[in-house]
A = this chain, B = another copy of it.
Amino acid sequence: MTLSFALDAASVFVFALTGALAASRAQLDIVGFLFFAALTAVGGGTVRDLLLDRNPVFWINQPAILFIAAAAAVLVFFSAHLVESRARWLAWLDAAALSIAVPAGLAVALATGQSGFVAPIVGVLTGTFGGLLRDVVANEVPMVLRQGELYMTAAFLGALAGWYVSGYLATGPALIVAGLVTFFLRAGSLAFGWGLPVYRSRPPR
Residue numbers of A with Cβ under 8 A of B are 23-35, 46, 50-53, 55-57, 60, 63, 66-67, 77, 80-81, 83-87, 114-118, 121, 132, 136-139, 141-142, 144-145, 147-148, 152-153, 156, 195-202, 204-205
Contacts and interface: CB of A to CB of B under 8 A. Distances in A.
In the A-B complex, list the 10 residue pairs whose CB atoms are closest, starting with the nearest. A29-B196, A31-B153, A31-B152, A53-B55, A35-B152, A24-B199, A63-B117, A29-B198, A27-B198, A63-B116
Contact of A28 (B80, B84, B87, B145): B145
Contacts of A26: 145, 147
A53 B52 contact: no
Copies of this chain assembled into the complex: 3
Contacts of A55: 53
8 contacts: A27-B198, A28-B145, A51-B56, A51-B57, A77-B199, A81-B202, A136-B136, A137-B144
Contacts of A141: 139
A128 to B, nearest CB: 8
A201 B147 contact: no
A199 B52 contact: no
Given A32-B152, A35-B152, A66 B121 contact: yes
Contacts of A147: 26-28
